[in-house]
Structure 1
Amino acid sequence: MSGREPILNLPRSLLLLCGAMILVHVARQLVGPDTDIWIIAEFAFVPARYSAPSEWPGGVPALFWSPLTYAFLHGDSIHLLVNLFWAASFGTPVARRFGTARFLLLAAVSAVAGSVAHYLVYPGDAVPMIGASAAVSGMTAATARFAFEPGAPLGGGGARPSAYFVPAPPLLALLANARAAFFVLVWFGVNLLFGVQSSLIPGVEGAIAWQAHIGGFVAGLALFPLLDPVRRLPG
Structure 2
Amino acid sequence: MWLIIGTNVLAYLYEMTLDPAQLQTFLYQHGLVPARYFVAAWGWQAGLSPFDFTPFLTNTFLHGGILHIVMNMWTLWIFGPALEDRLGPGRFAILYLAAGILASFTHAVFNAGSTAPVLGASGAIAGIIAAYAVRFPFAWIRVLVLIVIIPIFFSVPAVAFAGIWFLIQVLQGTSELFMPSAAGGIAWWAHIGGFLSGWMLLLMLEHPAHAPVRYHGGPWET
Indicate the residue corresponding to 1:135 in structure 2: 124
Query: Partners of 1:195 and 1:81 in 2: how far apart?
Result: 23
Higher strand fraction: Structure 1 or Structure 2?
2
Query: Partners of 1:36 and 1:233 in 2: how far apart?
Result: 46
Query: Partners of 1:26 and 1:195 in 2: how far apart?
Result: 31
Indicate the residue corresponding to 1:33 in structure 2: 20
The alpha-carbon distance between structure 1 residues 193 and 84, as it changes in their structure 2 partners (threshold 3 A), is farther
Distance apart, 1:230 and its partner CA = 6.4
How many percent of aligned residue pairs carry the same amino acid? Answer: 31
AA in 2 matched with 1:59: S
Structure 1 segment 1-235 matched on structure 2, within 5 A = 14-50=1-37, 51-52=39-40, 53-62=43-52, 64-148=53-137, 154=139, 179=157, 181-192=159-170, 206-229=184-207, 231-233=209-211
Worse-matched range after superposition: 131-140 or 180-189 = 180-189
CA contact (8 A) 2:137 2:159 kept: no
TM superposition score normalised by structure 1: 0.72
Distance apart, 1:69 and its partner CA = 0.6
Distance apart, 1:180 and its partner CA = 5.1
Distance apart, 1:55 and its partner CA = 3.1
CA contact (8 A) 1:42 1:56 kept: no
CA contact (8 A) 1:142 1:224 kept: yes
Root mean square deviation, CA, Å:
2.6
Matched length: 188
1:144-189 deviations in whole A, cap 9, x for unaligned? 111125xxxx27xxxxxxxxxxxxxxxxxxxxxx945422321123
CA contact (8 A) 2:76 2:128 kept: yes
Query: Partners of 2:90 and 2:129 in 1: how far apart?
Result: 17
AA in 2 matched with 1:33: P
Query: Partners of 1:182 and 1:96 in 2: how far apart?
Result: 22
Worse-matched range after superposition: 107-116 or 52-61 = 52-61
In structure 1, the gaps of 5 or more residues are 1-13, 156-177, 198-204
